[in-house]
Amino acid sequence: MYSLLLGGCLAAAFGGAPETCQLSGRAEHAPPGTWAYVYPPEVKLVSVNCLDSVQLDAKGRFALQVPLSAGPEYYRLQFSGRPGGYWPVPLAPGRRVTFKGDMLPTGPIKMMGGRFTGSPETDREDEFSGLFRQASADKRAGKPDKVAQAQARMRQLVRRHLDSFQAAWWTSAYLAQEPEQRVFVDSITTVLRQHQPNSRFTQRLLARQRRLPELQPGQLAPNFALATAAGSDSLRLASLRGRYVVLHFWHPSSLDPAKVVMAPGSQLTDLVPLYQRLQGRPAELVSVALTPDMLLWQAAVQREPAVRWPQAREAQGYRGRLPEALGFNKSPSFVLIDPEGKLLGIGLELNELDQQLRQLLP
């Protein structure tokens, strides 16, 4: 295997040419000189790993011929000027997938919306992600019957497509994060092990099964050392003993919260009332940004003067050591630890966290 310069990036050349698919589309309001890049799953977004790239034309259009180096999988589409940000796109051999999105015309490139169409995989992704968003909204609105209906349809999609790479992804990234889905996730993991034993998502589900006994309430929380906004990694769990610890995992975004509906806890300002209520009590709030984009994180912290609690960052995102050790894959999300360093809750939503804290610290 060797590399060569191709279309503005170093693309890998393969001994046996992999199957390909076409990824094209339009990014409206793209600044002149914007490039589109596509990367394999789970690699650093640097030129040496790029599979194909092209400069957008004057109307923001692009067309990429993607060698599917990892076979049918979720690949990553990225636009220049947006470090650390990318779109996961399900690709399979011979497909013609189309992207339609919009960018802000000035400042850092901010993707305000976008959608992939044109293949059975993108149609299924639309259906599943739509059900997940509906279930999340109904949960926040206190509609358990609606939540149950949406989750039942999500489980049906997984069962219907057990031989698709998407089934393992949906189970790992979505269903495994919901406590009420545990029985289904445990049973379907065994099935996926037979249908897709080599899938990275199946392997994550199996690793999650092995870790579950260690992640039950009452078990010691994994120790950690987090890089802080001050530039050190001095924030350690051991230094917070004797207090309740609330870990807030979130993902900084350039989206305007006034224009986009976001889950409670998506913005640091959502936690100001919680922080104020914890003042003078034996509790510590720590926000952990799951992003490789340091500038985006720093900007999000600095523009909120009311945010005065510790800010940390996990540069590897969901694949970082602490999220992996805690076995979750969603944001915003909360972890609650007691003064002895024992777990009280993982993957909590803001309202669930609030209820627990009101009982512990009335």
Overall number of domains in the chain: 3
- Asked, for residue 46, whether it belongs to a domain, the answer is yes
**In this structure, are 348 and 236 located in the same domain?**
yes
pLDDT tens per residue, range 35-62: 999 999 876 655 567 899 999 999 999 9
Which of the 8 DSSP states describes residue 151?
Answer: H
Q: Can you give the pTM of this predicted structure?
A: 0.72
What is the pLDDT confidence band of residue 230, given thresholds at 50, 70 and 90?
Answer: low
Taking the C-alpha atoms of residue 201 and residue 5, their distance in angstroms, rounded to an integer, is 31
Minimum mean pLDDT range among 92-101, 155-164, 244-253, 333-342: 244-253
Name, of 10-24, 57-71, 320-334, the range with top average pLDDT: 57-71
Distance of CA 218 to CAs 213, 233, 344, 346, 351, Å? 10, 26, 6, 12, 21
CATH code, domain with 86: 2.60.40.10
What pLDDT is recorded for position 108? 38
Greater confidence, 182 or 328? Answer: 182
Which pLDDT band holds residue 155 (cuts at 50, 70, 90)?
very high
Query: Could you list the residue range(s) of the whole structural domain that residue 289 is in?
Result: 225-360
**Same domain assignment for residues 256 and 341:** yes
**Which of 113, 144, 168 delimits the end of a domain?**
113
pLDDT at 255 over 80: no
Within a domain: 161? yes
Instruction: Dump pLDDT digits (tens) for 320-349.
Output: 788 878 877 677 889 999 999 999 988 888
Asked if 248 and 349 sit in the same domain, the reply is: yes
Residue 232 and residue 281 in one domain: yes
Does a structural domain hold residue 39? yes
CATH number at residue 302: 3.40.30.10
Query: Are residues 106 and 153 both part of a single domain?
Result: no
355 lies in the same domain as 229:
yes
Pick the residue with more confidence: 258 or 234? 234
Q: pLDDT category, 191, cuts 50, 70, 90?
A: very high
Report pLDDT digits (tens) over 257-301: 444 445 666 778 888 899 999 999 999 999 998 887 788 788 888
User: Is 152 found in the same domain as 252?
Assistant: no
Query: Maximum CA pair distance of the chain?
Result: 65
Domain final residue pick, 162, 196, 215: 215
**pLDDT at residue 12 greater than cutoff 90:** no
Q: Which residue has the higher pLDDT, 11 or 135?
A: 135
3-state secondary structure of 155: helix
Per mean pLDDT, which range of 30-34, 122-126, 149-153, 302-306 is the poorest? Answer: 302-306
Give the domain-ending residue among 174, 197, 215.
215
**How many angstroms separate the CA atoms of 71 and 18, rounded?**
8
Mean residue pLDDT across the chain: 83
Same domain, 229 and 356: yes
291 assigned to some structural domain: yes
Mean per-residue pLDDT for 187-216? 88
Bridge partner residues of 62 (DSSP): 25
**80 confidence band (pLDDT: 50, 70, 90):** confident
Supply the pLDDT for residue 243.
92
C-alpha to C-alpha distance for 160 and 21, rounded to whole angstroms: 24
Do 255 and 349 share a domain, yes or no? yes
- Smallest Cα–Cα separation from 354: which of 270, 267, 298, 252? 270
Residue 220 counted as domain residue: no
pLDDT of residue 4: 36
The DSSP secondary structure of 232-267, one letter per residue, reads ---EEGGGGTTSEEEEEEE----S-TTTS---TTSS
Note the Cα 222 to chain centre separation in Å: 21
Residue 199: partners with Cβ closer than 8 Å, 6 or more residues away: 165, 168, 192
Q: Assess if residue 21 is contained within a domain.
A: yes
Q: Which of 202, 213, 222 is nearest to 342 (CA)?
A: 222
Q: Which residue, among 87, 80, 142, 95, has the nearest Cα to 115 in the 3D structure?
A: 87
Same domain flag for 87 and 202: no
